[in-house]
Every structure is written in structure tokens, then in C-alpha cells.
Amino acid sequence: MGFTIFFIIKSEAATFTTITQGDFDNGSYNNTYYNSTHNFTQINITSFYSGNYTSKIFNAGSTSQWNNISWIQGAPYQVELPSNGQTENVFGWANMTGNVGLWHLNDGSGASSFLDSSGNNKNGSCSGTCPAWTSSGKFNGAYTFTNNQHRIGTGITTQLNDFAVEIWFKDDGIASAYERLADKSYTACFWFGRNNANANSWGGGVMEASDPYGVFVTLTDGQWHQIISMRNGTTHTVVGDGGSVISSNTVSANACDTTELAIGAWGTGVTTQSFGGTIDEVAIYNRSLTLQEIKDHYKRGALRLNLTVRSC
């Protein structure tokens, strides 16, 4: 996973920049390197999720007032997906073409309606007891679901062909059988959640009515994860954490039926096999996503850019 960073530092009478590879090479890399293909500094690709880059010392030559430090980053880190079908056009940003539902889940405590930010007016609603809001979401707020109690219906009954469903979640660490992150009928469209009662195993299926009901990836329980389930023709793919784990199989290409899409429980309206844990940032598209898009979406939540200035 990468980050882009260029420095521009201004003192009273001079400007110092770190832009080219030569500029960056005057500093020191720790689990980072200069990507000469795309011309930025990034975290090492393999096995590292954090790293540091320390620039050279900028010497003003005399006692000076440092007025400004600015930088350019390669993605909107810790930022939700864009609303209203927007297509961002900067490197590493999001294309929301085909987005038919987007729930940031920032609706606050006591909410029984959940804003659809896709622009398609598919606001969610809860049946029975509503999930509890928490300020400790992946992006701003989120909702905590209790197994076999909570469900958000979306009103989306579209007969999808190709599709992608994207969710950030953190389960409660209690492995309950087939707890749903999202569902639109496992026999007539798709389901998405835990692999039976198996710990650390998440995924789902498309129109698969017999065991094992789909394909799954390994994601450690009790931690925040991005997971995506998508169909492209007859290929169903589950992608975890930006592509760090991927599993796929061959499925039917038939259009989905009109069962409602539900978050956290069955699409058919019941709360059995519902999710236990916290869900944030749910999106559904009427197309599949590319692996690069998935990785870019993951960076929004997984990466954080921290800048520190020291004097010497």
C-alpha cells in the first residue's frame, strides 16, 4: 500500500522542496521507497503496513521564522467514499459509477432511518430494535449490531447482474453461524458474512444453496476489515483488505430476484443469523470493481499520513 508525499517548506526568505527522487534520496527510508514509475514515496509493497521517511535537514543559514509546510498526498486517507455518484479524477481516488446505494452510517444515536448517500434515495430503516450508534466507526460513526436482533432494510430490490458489495466491519469476536454482513437471498442472489461458525473466515456465495454456500477468505476476528463480494459474469470473487486475501469460484450468471438488500441480517426480513459487531461504510454497485479500485478504496481506511517537524 502506498502513500504519496511531496514537501514544500517556506521560511522567511527561502523555499525548500522535496519533489524528485534525488531530493527524497537525500533523506532516509524505513520500510518505504521511492516509486520511480509513479514518482512518489510509498510504503514497501510486501509485508509492511507502516513506514517512515525522514527528509534531509533544511538549513535556512540563520535564525529564521518557518512560515509554512505543505504536502501532496496520493489518496484521501481516512475519508469516506464520495457521495452522489461522484467520480474523483486524481490518482488513487474513487470512481462511483454504478453506485446504487451508499450508507456512511453517520446518522447518530437513536436513528431509525439511515441516509443513502448515493443520490438514489434508498434510505435504510430498521425493523424492531435498531442497532446502536457508536462514534468509534472506521470513518466517523458506525452502528453496532447484536446477533439475532438487528437488521437494516435498504429498499433496494434491483435484479442485479454484475454487482459488487463493499463493507467495513469489526465483528464482536463471537463466532455465530452464518452471521450476515449483507444479504439479498442466498439462493436467488447473494449472501455475505461468516463461514458457518468458523472463526476468522468471511465471504459468501451467489445463488448457492448447498454447503459450503460460497467462498471465503481469512480475516482475523475482532479487527476492522474491508471486505468485498462481487460477481462478473459467472465469476464470483471475495476480496479482503484491499486484495491481501482473494478467493473466487464459478457461479450462475442469472439476474438476482427482487428480494430486498439488507444490512446485518437476512434480506427476507428475519433477524436470525444476523451479524454481531460493528458495520460502517456500506456500498453496493451494479458492476464489479477492479482490483485496483478495491485497493484504492482500502487505502482510504487503512492508511494514515502523519507528519512531524523537528528543529535542530
pTM of the model: 0.81
Question: What is the average pLDDT value for the chain, to the nearest integer?
Answer: 86
In a domain, 82, yes or no: no
The CATH number of the domain where 199 resides is what? 2.60.120.200
Do 158 and 263 have their domain in common?
A: yes
Contacts of 108 (CB under 8 A, 6+ apart): 133, 141
Return d(Cα 167, Cα 96) in angstroms, integer: 15
Establish if 93 belongs to a structural domain.
Answer: no
Q: Residue 128 above 90 pLDDT?
A: no
Do residues 125 and 91 touch, judged by C-beta distance below 8 A?
no
Q: What is the pLDDT of residues 161-205, one digit of tens each?
A: 999 999 999 999 999 999 999 999 999 999 999 999 999 999 999
pLDDT in tens, 80-94: 898 888 887 766 688
User: Side-chain half-sphere of 271: how many Cα atoms within 13 Å?
Assistant: 15
Per the structure, the count of domains in the chain is 2
* CA–CA distance, 31 with 50 (Å, rounded to integer): 7
Q: Which domain range does residue 48 map to?
A: 6-74
- Give 207-224 pLDDT, tens digit per residue: 999 999 999 999 999 999
Do 28 and 141 fall within a single domain? no
Half-sphere exposure of 80 (CA within 13 A, CB side): 21
CA–CA separation, 215 vs 229, rounded Å?
A: 10
The gap between the terminal CA atoms of the chain, to the nearest Å, is: 32
Q: Is residue 63 part of a domain?
A: yes
Q: d(Cα 172, Cα 272) in Å, to the nearest integer?
A: 17
Residue 188 lies in a domain: yes
**Would you say residue 306 lies in a domain?**
no
